[in-house]
Structure 1
Amino acid sequence: MASEDLKTIIENLQKKGKMAFLEKTTPEKIEAFEKENAVTLPEKYKAWLLYSDGGELFLPAGVQFYGIEHKPLLNVNCEDRPSDDYVVIGALASGDPILFKKNSEEVAIYNLEGGKIEEDEKYSDFDAFLIDLPSGILGIGE
């Protein structure tokens, strides 16, 4: 079940665009994924997966998140990342990957063309990323 904070964030996102949420996953499947891939997903992203295992926001061209059982699947070895210290969890329509830094809650956007993560595109956690997504990242007006 989604936290009240996540529910509020999702309600605010839905007011600004079309979303395609997927069926949620389970804590047991998240735990199995983490064990199989030797990675710990950020707590706030796990909460997202328990609401929607992946999904697309701001259709037709916005953001796609990867799930652990619904395609596209989260691939911990995806090449579109600055180093092995990161895991790609989604992508912007531009193709720039959304990733988290291993062993942290930090979420960031990796500028593929520039080959770097800009300081203003780092977020303390997945919720902070979602909150900034409409106006700060996608430029969708208030």
Structure 2
Amino acid sequence: MISDELKEIIDKIKDQGKMRFLEAATEEQISQFEKENEIQLPAQYREWLQYADGGELYLPAGVQLYGVAHKPLINIEDNDRPDDNYIIVGALSSGEPVLFKKDEEKFYIFNHESQELDDDLTYDDFVTLLNDLYDLLGIGE
């Protein structure tokens, strides 16, 4: 079951552009992924996966999100991150990864050019990131 807050942002995203959502992951699939990889996904991302286990938002120049049951899968060993404390869950069309820090709810965009996490591209949680995507991608301009 997804929260009203997430339903609201999903409806907003659907209204704003072309999307391709993958089939939802089950609670069992998410829990199995976490157990096998010895991680805990942020609460709102877990909730998102129960709506869409990955997909593409704001095609063609948007963001791709990864899932736990449908390809592309979250690869907890992906080297395109600041260090091993981060998990990549997606990528902008520019190739910059969308990630979270283990044991935190915050999401980040990793800037390839500077090889840093930019404070302006740090989000308190997944819903905050989703709410900012339209402007972040330059669609709202």
Coarse TM-score class (shorter-chain normalised): over 0.9
- Corresponding residue for residue 76 of structure 2: 76
Extract structure 1 runs of 4+ deviating beyond 4 A.
none
Matched residues in 2 for 1:141 and 1:66: separation? 24
Matched, 1:85 2:91: no
Equivalences for residues 24-63 of structure 1 within 5 A: 24-63=24-63
Matched residues in 1 for 2:140 and 2:98: separation? 21
Computed over aligned residues only, the root mean square deviation of the Cα atoms, in angstroms, reads 0.9
- Corresponding residue for residue 96 of structure 2: 96
Q: Which amino acid aligns with 2:77?
A: N
Identity of aligned residues (%): 53
Asked if 1 retains the 8 angstrom alpha-carbon contact of 2:98 and 2:107, the reply is yes
The answer for unaligned runs of 5 or more in structure 1 is: none
Asked if 1 retains the 8 angstrom alpha-carbon contact of 2:34 and 2:41, the reply is yes
- Corresponding residue for residue 128 of structure 1: 128
Matched residues in 2 for 1:73 and 1:47: separation? 16
Q: Report how many residues are paired.
A: 141
Asked if 2 retains the 8 angstrom alpha-carbon contact of 1:16 and 1:140, the reply is no
1:24-50: CA deviations, max 9, x gaps? 001111111001001100000001000
- Corresponding residue for residue 64 of structure 1: 64
Matched residues in 1 for 2:68 and 2:112: separation? 24
Q: TM-score, normalised by structure 2?
A: 0.97
Matched residues in 2 for 1:50 and 1:33: separation? 13
Asked if 1 retains the 8 angstrom alpha-carbon contact of 2:21 and 2:52, the reply is yes
- Corresponding residue for residue 140 of structure 1: 139
Report the Cα offset of residue 10 of structure 1: 0.8
SS at match of 1:117: strand
Report the Cα offset of residue 134 of structure 1: 0.3
Matched residues in 1 for 2:92 and 2:78: separation? 15
Matched, 1:117 2:117: yes
Matched residues in 2 for 1:50 and 1:125: separation? 17
Matched residues in 2 for 1:41 and 1:78: separation? 16
Q: Which amino acid aligns with 1:140?
A: I
Instruction: Judging by fraction of residues, say which structure has more strand.
Output: 2
Q: Which amino acid aligns with 2:72?
A: P
Report the Cα offset of residue 139 of structure 1: 1.5
Q: TM-score, normalised by structure 1?
A: 0.97
Q: Which stretch shifts more, 80-89 or 10-19?
A: 10-19
